[in-house]
């Protein structure tokens, strides 16, 4: 964890922003996989990590905005646990390591909540995303299960979004460690992307590199020669020459800061003409975002600017036709990129998505679009220095979607469906970097991972 002063300052700021009442921040519990003692990999709740930095299961943090006191509650382990787990710090010791002077067991937490409710104090919590946390809040606060999510505090959500959106230098250093491991994951996989290998073998190489960097994956690996399926988690295909391999993968550091990188490479290590053409259109869109992202510019506008680059590329190929502004305004290009340019990243790969995307990615000035493609943009509002965002344009020839639009005549003035037929067997390409907004522009985080056609071919043929 960071030094305790970091967590003390974060909690102090949150108490100040909320003003009065009590904030309850439950950590995560172990989650059973197929029987209670066989659990999934433990992942602490990111808000709990942000304000307390503690990795143990079953912890609950409480901030009392009126007294200025912070608390950590959980039951201590006893000898029946310790014979299985080995010696573990007490809850009091854990609390102290996060700069928290007050601690107690779960009975004390229930007493604390009962007293607060009896005194009519305001109690705030964030929307829980796990059933066991809903259950816990329901019991602590005497709420029916179905009331727990609707009664979550928007004021608390917005205060957490405000703090967590701006990454400090120590957070950026953690994210860059996660990208350093992602570099190893991607370069190792690239070098092995040869005909005859299986997607699962390359996914295994990546997973091994993630663990070699001492962290879990930040989301399930996408490793597919069918990159036209945006989140394709199947890994059973054998690599064949002529296919693009889409590799979208990242990891977490031991403190759970994330990376999220995509590279798309030609199986065998040499781009053919068609692959090079589409790749460079997508690359130009990725580079355009890096060129123009800066404080005060909305990511929605950057998404649109990169859409213009994609649209021009497809127009030059004869797939689209008409005026570029009209193509983009009508969303015709979204047939080939039905997702947004990016999302925030930090302690979550889609940072704070549990708070509700509207609260994280949009604000009073910038509203989500309902247009196909743009409606999937997770982060649209103006950026500030310290925001970490992904820049991930792509091009996907999705046969079922092409057929549907053709049958419906959707955007038919802008799309040459006959020309598009020739591309239906292409697959997909995505290129994803993680950027931080600086005072004057943005910086691509981490050691550069091979990205141009020349760099990828050189790496794959070393």
Where on the chain is the footprint of Mn ion (CB under 5 A)? 248, 260, 262, 390, 432
**Cα dihedral sign for 195, 201, 203, 205?**
negative
Question: How far apart are CB 112 and ligand GLY at their closest, in Å?
Answer: 39
Question: How far apart are CB 446 and ligand GLY at their closest, in Å?
Answer: 15
Cβ-based nearer residue to Mn ion, 64 or 432: 432
d(Cα 258, Cα 218) in Å, to the nearest integer? 6
- Residue 256's binding partner out of Mn ion, ligand GLY, none, with CB under 5 to 8 Å set by partner kind: none
Cβ-based nearer residue to ligand GLY, 219 or 299: 219
- Residue 252's binding partner out of ligand GLY, Mn ion, none, with CB under 5 to 8 Å set by partner kind: none
Cβ-based nearer residue to ligand GLY, 262 or 383: 262
- Residue 219's binding partner out of ligand GLY, Mn ion, none, with CB under 5 to 8 Å set by partner kind: ligand GLY
d(Cα 356, Cα 339) in Å, to the nearest integer? 18
Strand 394-396 and strand 428-430: pairing? Answer: antiparallel
d(Cα 406, Cα 418) in Å, to the nearest integer? 10
Question: How far apart are CB 146 and ligand GLY at their closest, in Å?
Answer: 30
Question: How far apart are CB 333 and Mn ion at their closest, in Å?
Answer: 19
Question: How far apart are CB 142 and ligand GLY at their closest, in Å?
Answer: 38
Name the residue number minimizing CB distance to ligand GLY.
248
Question: How far apart are CB 462 and ligand GLY at their closest, in Å?
Answer: 27
Backbone dihedral angles phi then psi of residue 234, each to the nearest 5 degrees: -80, 145
| Encoded tokens for 353 | 């998505």
DSSP secondary structure, 316-333, as one string: HHTSB-S-HHHHHHHTGG
The site for ligand GLY (CB under 6 A) is made up of 219, 248, 260, 343, 392, 432
Question: How far apart are CB 220 and ligand GLY at their closest, in Å?
Answer: 9
Cβ-based nearer residue to Mn ion, 245 or 319: 245
d(Cα 420, Cα 402) in Å, to the nearest integer? 8
Cβ-based nearer residue to ligand GLY, 161 or 249: 249
- Residue 459's binding partner out of Mn ion, ligand GLY, none, with CB under 5 to 8 Å set by partner kind: none
Cβ-based nearer residue to ligand GLY, 199 or 260: 260
Backbone dihedral angles phi then psi of residue 190, each to the nearest 5 degrees: -55, -45
Cβ-based nearer residue to Mn ion, 181 or 262: 262
260 touches 206 (CB < 8 A) = no
DSSP secondary structure, 31-100, as one string: -EEEETTEEPPP---HHHHHHH----TT-EEEEETTT--EEEE-PPP-HHHHHHH-----HHHHHHHTT-
**Cα dihedral sign for 280, 286, 290, 291?**
positive
């Amino acid at each position: 964890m960071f030094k305790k002063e970091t967590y003390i300052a974060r909690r102090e700021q949150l108490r100040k922003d909320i003003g009065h009442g009590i904030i309850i921040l439950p950590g995560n519990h172990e989650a059973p996989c197929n029987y209670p003692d066989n659990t999934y990999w433990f992942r602490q709740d990111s808000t709990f990590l942000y304000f307390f930095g503690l990795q143990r299961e079953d912890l609950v943090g409480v901030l009392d905005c009126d007294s200025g006191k912070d608390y950590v509650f959980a039951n201590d382990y006893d000898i029946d646990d310790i014979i299985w787990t080995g010696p573990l710090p007490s809850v009091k010791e854990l609390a102290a390591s996060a700069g928290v002077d007050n601690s107690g067991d779960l009975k004390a937490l229930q007493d604390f909540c009962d007293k607060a409710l009896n005194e009519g104090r305001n109690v705030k919590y964030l929307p829980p995303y796990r059933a066991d946390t809903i259950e816990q809040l329901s019991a602590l606060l005497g709420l029916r299960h179905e009331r727990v999510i609707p009664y979550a505090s928007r004021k608390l959500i917005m205060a957490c979004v405000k703090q967590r959106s701006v990454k400090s230098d120590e957070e950026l250093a953690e994210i860059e460690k996660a990208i350093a491991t992602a570099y190893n994951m991607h370069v190792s996989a690239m070098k092995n992307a040869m005909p005859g290998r299986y997607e699962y073998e390359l996914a295994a190489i990546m997973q091994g590199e993630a663990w070699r960097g001492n962290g879990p994956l930040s989301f399930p690996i996408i490793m597919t020669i069918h990159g036209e399926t945006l989140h394709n988690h199947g890994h059973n295909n054998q690599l064949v020459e002529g296919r693009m391999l889409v590799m979208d993968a990242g990891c977490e550091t031991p403190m759970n800061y994330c990376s999220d990188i995509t590279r798309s490479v030609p199986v065998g290590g040499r781009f053919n003409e068609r692959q090079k053409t589409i790749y460079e259109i997508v690359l130009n869109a990725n580079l355009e975002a890096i060129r123009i992202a800066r404080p005060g510019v909305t990511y929605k506008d950057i998404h649109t600017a990169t859409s213009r680059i994609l649209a021009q590329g497809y127009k030059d190929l004869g797939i689209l036709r008409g005026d570029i502004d009209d193509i983009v305004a009508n969303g015709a290009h979204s047939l080939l990129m039905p997702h947004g340019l990016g999302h925030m990243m930090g302690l979550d790969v889609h940072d704070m998505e549990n708070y509700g995307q509207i609260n994280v990615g949009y604000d009073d000035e910038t509203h989500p679009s309902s247009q196909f493609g743009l409606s999937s943009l997770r982060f649209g509002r103006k950026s500030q220095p310290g925001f970490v965002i992904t820049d991930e344009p792509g091009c996907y020839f999705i046969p079922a979607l092409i057929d549907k639009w053709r049958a419906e005549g959707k955007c038919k003035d802008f799309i040459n469906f006959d020309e598009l037929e020739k591309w239906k067997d292409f697959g997909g390409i995505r290129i994803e970097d993680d950027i931080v907004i600086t005072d004057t522009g943005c910086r691509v985080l981490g050691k550069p991972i091979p990205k141009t056609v020349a760099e990828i071919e050189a790496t794959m043929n070393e």
